[in-house]
Every structure is written in C-alpha cells, then in structure tokens.
Structure 1
Amino acid sequence: MKTVLKTFAAALLLGVAAMGVAKADPVKIGVAAEPYPPFASPDASGKWVGWEIDFIDAVCAEEKLECVITPVGWDGIIPALTTKKIDVIAASMSITDERKKTIDFSDKYYNTPTAIIGPKDQKFGATPDDLKGKIIGVQVSTVHAVYAKKHFGATAAEIKEYQTQDEANQDLAAGRVDAVQADSIALGEFLKSDQGKGCCDLKGMVAPDLEVLGPGVGAGIRKEDTELKDKINAGIKAIRANGKYEEISKKYFDFDIYGEDSQSN
C-alpha cells in the first residue's frame, strides 16, 4: 500500500511540475488580410512578408515571445483584438485618441506622411480647393477616411470608401475616382507598379492634422494587457538601440521611416 501511495505521490508531483513549465500560448499578431506592400503582403506560398512583418518578428525575438501572424479583415481588426481572437495589432495602425477609447497602443514604431495621388494627365494639388468637385477614394475605417471627410468633404463631389486600399487604387486606375488619399509609402508602391506608373502620379502631401492623423503608427494592444504592452515597448526600444531596426529598414527604404508627425492607416 505504501508503495502504491509513493507511486501516486510521485506521479502527482510530476504532473504539477509539468503544469508549472507548460508552454505559454503564442501571441497572435493581427495583420490586415490584404496586400499592403511594402509593409505586409502574402508571398506566392502564402507566407506573410514585408517591413512590418520583419519588424514585429524582431520585436518578438528580442522579448522571447512566440508570435504567430494572424490575418484579419481590416474593418474588423479592433473587434478581433478586444474579443481576443488576436493579441496585438501590427497593421500600420495610426495611434489616435479615438482608437484609444477602445484599445491601447505601444510606443510609435514608424511615421510617414499622407499623400494624394491622381491621374497623370490632370494637374492638381492636395488642398481642399485642388480637390473641389472631385471623387476621392479612401480605405474604410482609416485615418484617411476621417481626414478626407473633415478636410475635403465640403468641397469634394464624394468621399468614396473601399474595403481595401487596393480596391481604391484599382478604381483610380480605371477612372472611377479622381484621386486617392493614403499613406505615402503605400501609394508610392502602387505608383511603382506597372499599372500605377502607367496611369497616375503624386499630387502632393496633405496638410498636417495631428488630432486626426495621430503621432505615428503603434501596435494595438488590449487595455488590460499591460505586461504585453511593456514587452512590446521594450522590444521596440531594444531593436532601435541595437541596430536591428535600421538593418530591417534598409532592406525596404532609403530614408528613416521612423519619421516625425504625420500618418498611415
């Protein structure tokens, strides 16, 4: 009987020990389920690649977090975070006070200007007067949609919203909208494509509006996940300090993407 009890006790202790070293669940990194080069896009094999993917991979490696890229529809990405379908948003999401009512953000990890593009054969700029009477395409649930409505809504013929940036760009190329507003880097990638360079060019950068565009892009995190936020911030700080951030960025850009005060999504 004593032998049986000893065996049972040993098994119980082993079970408790095993529970103590149980592997933590992976951190699900939410990205928008659409091509958004050069930040995040699926390659031919379905693997997600791009600057933002390399960046978040480096942050996770620095903090020894097991992270898994999890594509989510852009217009549902904040609900996916709050309902714990994902744990972090790394999808070029601008830090804004409006979004902070629902979620928290890491420190800024990049910041680029907002641009207007349009047909090559038309000459206009990026002011409300320039865009008077024009149909402007923007992606739904972005700071660009908010900005366009605020600054161009009174003069533009229409602010037309699309589920993806690619759809807005396609309609511009097809002549169904007169201009598109979005992040300058993302629009630059479109203008370098065969379709983009054949039809369109840069019209200018919009005037700053910190309240709408925010101070930069950050990782979205649930308000209660303070420990995870601290780890993400520590990872960002570390790769900025050890040169990894610059090493990743040089593969994609010939300028400092960390930037100043203007914005992305």
Structure 2
Amino acid sequence: MKYTLKTIAVLAAITISSICGAAAEQVRVGFAAEPYPPFASPDASGNWEGWEVDFMKAMCSEAKLDCVISAIPYDGLIPALTASKIDIIIASVTITDKRKQTIDFSDYYYKTEAGLLTAKGSDLQVTPEGLAGKTIGVQSGSIHEAYATKHFVPAGAELKTYLTGDESFNDLASGRVDAVQADVIALDAYLKSDQGKDCCELRGKVQADASVLGNGIGVGLRKGDEDLKVKINAAIKAIRANGVYDKFSKKYFDFDVYGG
C-alpha cells in the first residue's frame, strides 16, 4: 500500500502510553513522515514499525516518558523542534557540528556509513573523478546531499534531490539517475527487496568526512532541555547495558548497529 505525506500526516500523534506509567512525562516525538525502512515506516494498518520505533519504545519506557509520535516531513523536523511543535526528534538524524549550532543531541544511539548504489554491472568509481558528469540521487536535507554537494558536485556531478529514499531508488532502477547515495543500512534493505535485488548493487562506501557525515545518530533536542537530555542519555546507556537494545536490534540486523 502506498502512503502519501498527507496520508501519513493523519497518522500523527500515535500514543505509546501503554509502555509508560500514567504519571509519565509526555514527550512529542518527531518522526520523518517519509518511510525509511528498516528504521521506521507505517504498515498496512497505519501503525508505525521498524528499528527506530522499537528503539523509541525501549528508550521511553526506560526513561518513564509517555512518547507520542508526530509525523513530519524530514526537512521540517528541526524547524518543528525549534518552534516547540515537538519535543525531540528520532529520525536517523546525524550529529553534525552544523546541526549542533541550531539544536542539541543526545549521545549517539547508532552509527552507520555512507555508500553509493548503482545499476548492476556499472563501472562507476566512488570518487569525485569517477562521478564527473553523472547524476546522483540524494534525500533532500540529508547529510548525503551535503556530502555530495561538497565532494562530487565540484568535480562535475549533478544532484537530484528527493523527499524519500524510495523515490531515488525508483529513479535509479528506471535509469533516470546514475547512482544513489545513502546510509549503507538503508541501501542494504533496498537491495534485499524484489526491485533492488534485480536492478542494483552497492558500488562502495564514500570516503569518510566527519565534518559532513557526522558522528553517529542522536536524539535531537532543543537547546536548554538539559533535564530531558539527561533522562534520554541515561535510558540509552541502560538499554545498552541490560540487553534490551541488542534484543530488538537482532530482529533487523546481523551486525552491531551501535557501531563505534
């Protein structure tokens, strides 16, 4: 079943109160409205599922927070946070120095690398020179757009931006772009799909650049929300120590997604 952003927005404010006590502090959690498997997407019934959904439930339960999902387009998450429309962001938002000028972050809760997806049999090289004259698909507002703008565009590559990863994958499968840059976990999930396994392959990982690709994925918070940050950091540490994090992670990954 296909979901438009308008349809998904109707699914906002899904309360996870069953995992917390009645007196728990309510926290509005910004999720990206665009599906991003295996991290978060609505199922056929409109219920959110995925690794980050399980992470949120475990973290909120440990921190005794009553967490309510608000679905917001990815590039609107930080503006919604700073405008106090939501209280935190859990949407695979990378911790970068640029973003830290606007918002605060918890300790990281997973790390991943960036890779480049191409059509099967492609001879493209994952270098600025190898991508000169080629069109690269990236998600709008993502670290991958920032990375490609910094490293590939000056050498002659052209960027095409998308609201969702699925849109970029569809254009790659149809030959409308030459490559797609994204997190290798998201690329791996696509390669396991019926379309992905037939059309595409991982050409390689991009060269590391922490100034753009950041230092892991963190929970976004408003600057000054120190009490909430302390609770969230303590909860992340606790579910890592008590085995809850590893238990739900094994449903999705056969490696340590925490990284580092």
TM-score w.r.t. length of structure 1: 0.87
- Distance apart, 1:157 and its partner CA: 3.5
Partner of 1:184: 184
- Distance apart, 1:197 and its partner CA: 1.2
Partner of 2:252: 252
**Does the CA contact (< 8 Å) of 1:29 and 1:86 recur in 2?**
yes
- Distance apart, 1:156 and its partner CA: 3.5
Identity of aligned residues (%): 61
**Does the CA contact (< 8 Å) of 1:136 and 1:156 recur in 2?**
no
> Partners of 2:250 and 2:163 in 1: how far apart?
30
Max radius of gyration: which structure? 1
The number of residues matched between the two structures is 239
> Partners of 1:51 and 1:99 in 2: how far apart?
23
> Partners of 1:64 and 1:123 in 2: how far apart?
51
**1:172 maps to amino acid:** L
- Give the unaligned 5+ runs of structure 2: 1-21
Partner of 1:31: 31
- Distance apart, 1:101 and its partner CA: 0.8
What root-mean-square deviation, in Å, do the aligned CA atoms of Structure 1 and Structure 2 show? 1.3
Residues 31-80 of structure 1 show CA distances to partners (whole Å, capped at 9, x for unaligned) of: 10011000001011111110111011101000111111211111101011
> Partners of 1:246 and 1:122 in 2: how far apart?
36
SS at match of 2:131: coil
1:41 and 2:41 equivalent?
yes
**2:43 maps to amino acid:** D
Question: 1:1-265, aligned counterparts within 5 Å?
Answer: 26-260=26-260
1:61–1:25 distance in 2 versus 1, CA, 3 Å: closer
TM-score w.r.t. length of structure 2: 0.89
- Give the unaligned 5+ runs of structure 1: 1-21, 261-265
- Distance apart, 1:94 and its partner CA: 0.2
> Partners of 1:156 and 1:186 in 2: how far apart?
26
**2:79 maps to amino acid:** P
- Distance apart, 1:28 and its partner CA: 1.0
Residues 86-105 of structure 1 show CA distances to partners (whole Å, capped at 9, x for unaligned) of: 11100000000110111000
Residues 81-138 of structure 1 show CA distances to partners (whole Å, capped at 9, x for unaligned) of: 1111111100000000110111000000000110000110312231112212110010
Between 189-198 and 138-147, the greater mean CA deviation after superposition = 189-198
**2:138 maps to amino acid:** V
SS at match of 2:252: coil
> Partners of 2:244 and 2:125 in 1: how far apart?
37
